[in-house]
Chain A
Amino acid sequence: MPSSQLTSASGSGGNKRRTRTSRAIFLGPGLLYISLFMAIPLGFILSYAFLEKAPYGGVRLSFSLDSFTRALEPVYVSVLGNTLLIASITTVLALIIGYPVAYAIAKLPPKWRTVAVILVVLPFWSNFLIRTYAWILLLNSEGILNRGLLSIGVIDQPLALLYTREAVILGLLYAYLPLMILPLYASMERLDWSLLEAARNLGAGRARAFIDVTLPLTLPAAMIGAIFVFVPSVGNFIVPELLGGGKTVMVGNLVRDQFLKARDWPFGSVLALMMVGFLVLLFAVQGYVSRRINVGDSRA
């Protein structure tokens, strides 16, 4: 697809030079900007992780692995474990809810699909703080949910819904569910449904056809969705603070505190590096799985 200009431009020397200039003009500024304001900042985190902390923030320029060993202290291991547990539960719930929803949208008549997808994505583009704040209104002991339950007599004492771990999971699920549904829907829309029919014609039952055909073909997208839910859940510090009431401490809260309160930048860098590490690692796994499925495809 992008080749036609390249081939047509390779005619004469003058054209070649012009192509090279155009390439620099088009690609140069954007790639330079990303390097300056993303790659280099991430490089700073990487190098700060191996430095010694200075007393009032910042670093001393001497090599040290202290911040890594500090991350292994029981206090921090338990925060990390707690974070991974919360992010995992959120991701599994998002998958359980998101999969049938994406499937339902893909099975809608074409003219309704676009509207159905926009309705899923729309909340995601609105202010994150406000969407989290909305749950305070709902879950508060004086809130809508408790009032409703009290008035119909299901409970006679307000439930402690807010400032619990469940509230944190709910808040994260609410925030990131669209990111699970979107890639799943995209893959189901492109799915070759005739494969499913073929399986059915060859005598596979409904469940068997789903497990053998639909599930493997949508697995790479499900993994992308899982990454899009899991990684930001790990790094979120707003939901634990507003809906967890500070009782649920997650890695994101630790990172923020290292930079704004404790002023231990190297330790904060180690924790932030971990988030980027998760992202890279999970994408590597996803890439491996989707390549294997594609290979299986072409063999069949």
Chain B
Amino acid sequence: MRSIGWLRVPLFLTYAFLYIPIAVVVVMSFNASKLPFNWTGFSLKWYEKLFQDDVIREGFINTMIVAVGATVFATILGTLLAIGLARYTRSAVLQAYALTPAIVPDLALAIGLLVMFSFVGMTVGLHSVLLAHVVFGLAFVAAVVTARIGQVDPSLEEASQDLGATAWSTFFRITVPTLLPAIVAGALLVFTLSLDEFVIAFFTDGPSTPTLPIVIYSMVRFGVTPEINALAAILLLVSFTVVIAAQRMTRTTDVT
């Protein structure tokens, strides 16, 4: 077949489109000038200011509490669910139902939760954000782990049980270790999703415990500041690192 080299033009233009805005933010975070659009020289002072900002520090701590908590619960629930879907049911409806939280519009989920929490009279705060993040998180973990189970030979588990191992020890000595890379990848994805999630947190959080995205939202609404650039650069670095790590985990799952 003839080379389709010309097709790489839209590919590279798309990469430029996707990465130039991000690159601009990162470059401007090192700008010495207080004016957001004038480059006057290299400086790290906005990073320094960032680490002294109490509102941002609190937002960061709140976000970490939610992200770590949501990751732990979503990983446990999502992994169990994925194994259950692969081994104990053939229902396509249940499979679809388990993935729905990942595709349902976030705004609809957010106000649904807000309405429910207020109906039962629950006070909102970090705990309600955490509960909300677990629901879409577990769907992502279930999706990643399900993809891995498809490649695992169930005869390993059967052999273990035939040789007299209890269901319990088969689960912890055979099932979990073979699925571990996918479980870790799923956990990493939930962590970044929760770290960056704004819409659901915006509606289900209490006023005294803003998460970092909520802090960013209120900053961005008032315009461009060099501090946001620095914060943005750090968050981009974190997300990119975590997602690439997750990708590497799922690639090592290509064992026979």
Contact of A27 among B25, B84, B119 (CB under 8 A): B84
A154 touches B (CB below 8 Å): no
Residue count of chain B within 8 Å CB distance of chain A? 90
Q: Which A residues lie within 8 Å of B22 (CB)?
A: 123, 126, 131, 134
A128 to B111, CA, bound (A): 19
A30 near B25 with CB under 8 A, answer: no
- Chain A residues in 8 Å Cβ range of B7: 100, 103-104, 107
Q: Is the C-beta of A216 less than 8 angstroms from some C-beta in chain B?
A: no
Q: Is the beta-carbon distance between B10 and A137 smaller than 8 angstroms?
A: no
User: Would B78 and A30 count as touching, CB distance under 8 A?
Assistant: yes
Q: How far is the CA of A38 from the CA of B137 in the complex (A)?
A: 12
B42 at the A interface (CB under 8 A): no
Given A18, A44, A144, A275, which contacts B107 in the complex, CB threshold below 8 Å?
A275
Is A198 close to B, CB under 8 A? no
CB distance from A294 to the nearest CB of B (A): 15
Known: A2-B86, A137-B25. A45 touches B111 (CB 8 A): yes
Determine the chain A residues whose CB is within 8 A of the CB of B235 once the complex forms: 126-127, 130
Docked complex Cα distance between A20 and B195 (Å): 37
Given contacts A122-B243, A126-B239, contact A23 B167 (CB under 8 A): no
CB neighbours of B228 from chain A (8 A): 130, 133
Residues of the B chain whose Cβ atoms lie less than 8 Å from the Cβ of A143: 37
Contact digits for B82-108, partner A, Cβ 8 Å, 1 yes 0 no: 011111111000100110110111111
Q: Please, which residues of chain A bring their CB within 8 A of the CB of B108?
A: 42, 45, 235, 272-273, 275-276
Number of interface residues of A (CB under 8 A): 91
* Chain A residue contacts of B109, Cβ below 8 A: 38, 41-42
CA distance A35 to B228 in the complex (A): 38
- Contact between A26 and B81 (Cβ–Cβ < 8 Å)? yes
Does B81 lie within 8 Å of A31, measured CB to CB?
yes
Check B173 for interface membership: any CB of A closer than 8 A. no
**Chain B residue, CB-CB nearest to A275:** B105
Contact present for A123 and B112 (CB under 8 Å): no
Interface string of B106-124 (1 = CB under 8 A from A): 1111011111101100000
Contact of B174 with A by CB under 8 A: no
Considering the chains assembled together, what is the distance between the CA atoms of A33 and B113 in angstroms? 13
Any A CB within 8 A of the CB of B251:
yes
Q: Which of B43-51, B53-61, B213-221 lies on the face that meets chain A? A: B213-221
B138 contacts A by Cβ under 8 Å: yes
Residues of A near B138 (CB, < 8 A) are 30, 33-34
B177 CB to nearest chain A CB (Å): 17
Known: A2-B85, A27-B85, A174-B17. 12 other contacts (CB 8 A): A2-B86, A23-B89, A41-B109, A41-B115, A100-B7, A122-B243, A122-B244, A125-B189, A134-B232, A142-B36, A235-B105, A276-B105
Please give me the 8 A-B residue pairs with the lowest Cβ-Cβ distance, nearest first.
A41-B112, A26-B84, A30-B81, A27-B84, A134-B21, A23-B88, A104-B7, A126-B239
30 sampled A-B residue pairs with Cβ under 8 A: A2-B87, A6-B87, A33-B134, A37-B131, A37-B134, A38-B104, A41-B113, A42-B108, A44-B119, A45-B115, A100-B7, A101-B11, A105-B11, A118-B244, A125-B196, A126-B192, A126-B240, A127-B236, A129-B213, A130-B235, A131-B21, A137-B25, A140-B224, A177-B14, A235-B106, A242-B220, A259-B114, A269-B111, A272-B105, A272-B111
Seen from chain A, the residues whose Cβ lies within 8 Å of a Cβ on chain B are 1-6, 8, 18-19, 22-23, 25-31, 33-34, 37-38, 40-45, 48, 57-58, 97, 100-101, 103-105, 107, 114, 116, 118-123, 125-138, 140, 142-144, 147, 174, 177-178, 181, 197, 228, 231-232, 234-235, 237-238, 241-242, 252, 255-256, 259, 265, 268-269, 272-273, 275-276, 279
What is the interface of chain B, defined by CB distance below 8 A to chain A? 1, 4, 7-8, 10-11, 14-15, 17-22, 24-25, 28, 36-37, 77-78, 80-81, 83-90, 94, 97-98, 100-101, 103-109, 111-116, 118-119, 131-132, 134-135, 138-139, 142, 150, 154-155, 157-158, 167, 189, 192-193, 195-196, 198-199, 203, 213, 216-217, 220-221, 224, 228-229, 232, 235-236, 239-240, 242-244, 247, 251
